Structure formats: structure tokens, C-alpha cells
Amino acid sequence: MTTAISGALTTRLREARSVVAFTGAGISVESGVPTFRGADGIWAKLRPEELASMDGFLKNPSVVWDWYAHRKKIISAIHPNAGHYALVEMEKKVPQFAVITQNIDNLHRRAGSKTVFELHGNIERNYCMKCGKTFTDEFVLAVAGLPKCDSCGGMVRPDVVWFGEMLPEEEWESSVAAAEGADLFLSIGTSAVVYPAASLPLLAKRAEAYVVEVNPEPTPITDKMDEFLEGPSGEILPMLARVMERERGGSGAAAHS
């Protein structure tokens, strides 16, 4: 396992004015959320196109709703882990810091991260497919059978991005701008196979950010990274936050801006 932090990364942790943390399902593993791909992943047992697509939903809305209701219950019962909290600490130290997440579990906000761009939505929100009215989990989980809009009778769905759907425009544009403006870009706990999200580390690299991947396994982008820190994010991110703290001392983001 290679978890030594190089001199080059230490310099960035001390001097970077703009840092981006790009996260995927791996950062939530230590909170108890399963990943999508791999031997223990969700897709090892279930077919993505049947559950995470509009076609799948329209063909079998109750199966898809059962799956989301199950995940909503798991996610509401778990907590952010040391990896999420390390990013909150880093945000306090850097003039510009953004979390760009593919995760829908809301754990970054629950940990206390302030600037969070959610590329694939948020499982805690729901909306009517016909009129757009939004609904709480309390509403959708209390219904026996399929949740229907109480204004127009339309089908209600979770506010997540399925395959074949566009990413939310504002979140995407802010993410591209953050990636292109980053001095240090951390790609954390993502298999980097789902586009367009997976293009962000490469955009950052092209814009001359120092790009570091944190993952127990290599991914298709590992060879293009400046550094690969092999291991769980719940161990590696607190190490990075400690180096940042040591290198920057007590100076918070406000002191730099």
C-alpha cells in the first residue's frame, strides 16, 4: 500500500488556493453504503438499466420504488465518516474549496461541507414527473403503493440522475469551472467510468492542476494522475487534512481571501 505523501503533494497542501475534492461511492463505504461496481457492489446483483433508468422505472415503477425506499432507509440511518469530516477540515483552510460529488447520500452536507455540487442528485429529495412539485421522504415513504402527486396525480420519482439523463446544468457548469480552476484536484473513491462526471479529473489535469487519486484499487484514470494514494479514503483523507493543518498552521480560509 502506497500512502506516503510526497514532497510535491505536501507543497500543494500548503500552497494551493483552490482545491477540489471529487467523490464517488467509495468515500461512503466506511459509513456503510455499498458501492455500485465490483464484487460486493449493487450492480453485481441488480441490473443498472432496470433500476437506474427512466425505461426501467416506467416498466416497473414498484420494483424501482422498493429499491429506493430501501436505500433511503439505509442512508437516513448512517453517518458521515472520517473521510467526509477530513474534507470539512480542509475547506476551512483553503480560500476556495469545492466538493463535487457523484453521491446522492447527502453525507458531505451532513458532515458540514459548505460548497457541494451534486452531479447525480440527492436521494432525500423527490419530485412529480408531471408538474415538478417536490416531496419529502416523509410523504413518499408513508404511502402504501406508488407515490402520486397530491396536486396533479403525476408519478413521483426520486431526484437522482439516471442513465441517459442530463446532469443538473448549474451543478455541472460550476463543477467544470471548479475543476478547471483547481490547483489541487483529489479524485476520491470513484471507479471513474461514468461520464460526463469521469471527465472532471482529466479536465483538471489538462488545466494544470496537480491531480491525486485516492482509492484502494487502480481505475482507468490512474495512469493519468500525478499521484495515486492507495487505500481507503477514511484513512488517507485524515492524513492529508493533518498535513494541511501542519503546513498551514492556524491560518483559515478567511485569512487568505
Active site residues: 120
Identity of the amino acid at 93: K
Residues in contact with ligand BJW, shown as a per-residue x/- string from 136 to 175 under the rule CB under 6 A: ------------------------xxxxxxx---------
**Which CB, 8 or 131, lies closer to Zn ion?**
131
The residue ranges that bind Zn ion (CB under 5 A) are 128, 130-131, 133, 149, 151-152, 154
User: Which of 126-134, 148-156, 190-198, 249-257 is the region at the interface with ligand BJW (rule: CB under 6 A)?
Assistant: 190-198
Does residue 24 interact with ligand BJW by CB under 6 A?
Answer: yes
**Which CB, 95 or 231, lies closer to ligand BJW?**
231
Q: Is 107 exposed, middle or buried (0-12, 13-18, 19+ CB in 10 A)?
A: buried
Q: Is 147 exposed, middle or buried (0-12, 13-18, 19+ CB in 10 A)?
A: buried
**Which CB, 9 or 161, lies closer to ligand BJW?**
161
Chosen from ligand BJW, Zn ion, none, partner binding at 163 (C-beta under 5 to 8 Å by type):
ligand BJW
Does residue 190 interact with ligand BJW by CB under 6 A?
Answer: yes
Site residues (CB under 6 A) for ligand BJW, limited to 44-83: 52
**Contact (CB, 8 A) for 123 and 75:** yes
Sheet holding 156-160, edge to edge: 134-135, 121-128, 156-160
Site residues (CB under 6 A) for ligand BJW, limited to 90-129: 102, 104, 120
**Which CB, 181 or 216, lies closer to ligand BJW?**
216
How far is the first Cα of the chain from the last one, in angstroms, to the nearest whole number?
A: 37
Give the contacts of 219 (CB within 8 A, at least 6 positions apart): 190, 191, 192, 193, 213
Handedness of CA 246, 17, 28, 217 (dihedral sign): negative
**Which CB, 73 or 256, lies closer to ligand BJW?**
73
Chosen from Zn ion, ligand BJW, none, partner binding at 130 (C-beta under 5 to 8 Å by type):
Zn ion
Q: Is 222 exposed, middle or buried (0-12, 13-18, 19+ CB in 10 A)?
A: middle
Which residues here bind ligand BJW, judged by CB under 6 A?
A: 24-27, 29-30, 35-37, 41, 52, 102, 104, 120, 160-166, 189-191, 193-196, 215-217, 219, 232-234
